[in-house]
Amino acid sequence: MADFRTSTQRERWIFQSHDLMERWAAANQRAAQTLAQYGTTRLSVDLLDGSVSYPEPAPDHVEGSSGVKPLSYEEEQLTRVFYEQKIQEVCAAFKFPHKIQATAIIYFKRFYLQWSVMEHHPKHIMLTCVYASCKVEENHVSAEELGKGIQQDHQIILNNEMILLKTLDFDLIVYAPYRSIEGFIDDLEDFCRAGNGPFQRLKELRQAAISRVDKMMLTDAPLLYTPGQLALAALHKSNDLLRVVNFERYLETIFSRQHSDCPVEQFVQSINTINYL
């Protein structure tokens, strides 16, 4: 059975903040250099194997003379978030489950750890991420159907599928916080039935936490923390507003079962950091 603890996501796709900044800065700098050298940044993608090639300089281009300015590091960041929101909108329009939305967003985030939005158009990659997510999560939607539903040429999706898969290094199994929320809600039901809160309000807490995770998915958090940490952070923040249970006491029961030496106060401080991203 699949397990996050032994997954490639834990081994290869959870980073430190400085790692992310270095990767984004390197991609941004490379694209800026390409623009200066060739007068354009868009890369050509081989449709069969996903290999890329740099553009040929325009006949009249003088290196360093491009009148087009490259996007800044900050502008790239804003562009990525914009298209991550578009992924959520597309998934909502098709009524896809949260799992597909989360997988598509994480694919998108991973892709742009290696590439600049100046090198591969984020609208094209965004659509391809949704398509790939549907395939992996066994919610089959054809490229034609997806393209038609959002009035885009489906060939764009197919043209970018291989470069997406190669960039992800074919690590396609994604663990999202939504499933962790369901597990914690089930556990909280037992906690409440033991006299620690009104279990009838757990549905309200669950929905608030899911909405909180939707917002987290637009931050760097999915690349910095485990799904369980994100789920607990969302539940903790939502419970602060709804006051359903004594969440610190609930965390104490979790830690006692796991024989953890981590103080609850220290853990709460760490998950609060997630909510400030």
- CATH superfamily for domain 13-57+70-167: Cyclin-like (1.10.472.10)
User: Is the domain defined by 177-275 classed in CATH 1.10.472.10?
Assistant: yes
| CB-neighbour burial class of residue 162 (10 A; exposed 0-12, middle 13-18, buried 19+) | middle
Tens of pLDDT, residues 62-120: 555 556 789 999 999 999 999 999 999 999 999 999 999 999 999 999 999 999 999 99
246 near 196, Cβ under 8 Å?
A: yes
Instruction: Look up the pTM and report it.
Output: 0.91
- The mean-pLDDT minimum among 36-40, 54-58, 182-186, 268-272 falls in 54-58
Q: Which residue has the tokens 């006692």?
A: 256
Residue limits of CATH 1.10.472.10 in the chain: 13-57+70-167, 177-275
CA distance 246 to 236: 10
Tens of pLDDT, residues 192-226: 988 877 888 999 999 999 999 999 999 999 999 99
For residues 202, 204, 208 and 214, what is the CA-based torsion angle, rounded to 10 degrees? 90
